[in-house]
Structure 1
Amino acid sequence: MLTNELLLNRITIEAGKCGSRPCIRNMRIRVSDVLSMLAEGMLPDEILEDYPYLEKEDIKAVLLYAARQFDHPVLRAA
């Protein structure tokens, strides 16, 4: 089992590739693409079947990355 740090290393951002959006392992599949598929009801195994070059750890990495992006304090203006 990979640690969170190793999972997050699977998420890459390259200037000019996919609009500099986060991708999986330098490929042209964006984190947002996988999140959209999951949100539409696709199961991880279905995604892996449609994208055989992805691995289960990639989907875990996407979910961890998304969770980390939203785990920040929200400050209210006084």
Structure 2
Amino acid sequence: MKLDRIQIDPERMNGQPCIRDLRLTVRRVLELVALYPDRNELKQEYPELEDEDIRQSLLYAASSIDDRVIELHPYAVAA
């Protein structure tokens, strides 16, 4: 998986993963995708943000979530 647009620098944005040389964190991009369901409106507000930036932000977030199965047991019913 190629994530060449995601940068982590302890000297920038408190070490949070950012998009290229922009002052936009991956977290902020994910928020923006949720807030602007219309990509054209998102691009009007943030013209520096490219489709590949958004794609890689989503990939980065997905890869950082632990994908494990947790078995849920029903509550014991008191008799």
Same fold (TM over 0.5): yes
> Is structure 2 residue 52 aligned with structure 1 residue 57?
yes
Structure 1: state its 5+ residue gaps: none
Percent sequence identity is 40
Which amino acid in structure 2 is aligned with residue 20 of structure 1? Answer: G
Structure 2: state its 5+ residue gaps: 71-79
Higher relative contact order (CA 8 A, sep 6+): 1
User: CA RMSD, aligned part only?
Assistant: 2.1
> Is structure 2 residue 41 aligned with structure 1 residue 46?
yes
Please tell me whether Structure 1 or Structure 2 has the larger radius of gyration of its CA atoms.
2
Normalising by structure 2, we get a TM-score of 0.73
Deviations, residues 4-26 of structure 1 (Å, cap 9, x unaligned):
41xx1100011121111000002
Normalising by structure 1, we get a TM-score of 0.74
Cα 1:69/1:43, change in 2 over 3 Å: farther
- Map 1:25-36 to 2 at 5 A: 25-36=20-31
Q: Identify, as 1 or 2, the structure richer in helix.
A: 1
Q: Is the 8 A contact 1:48 1:56 kept in 2?
A: no
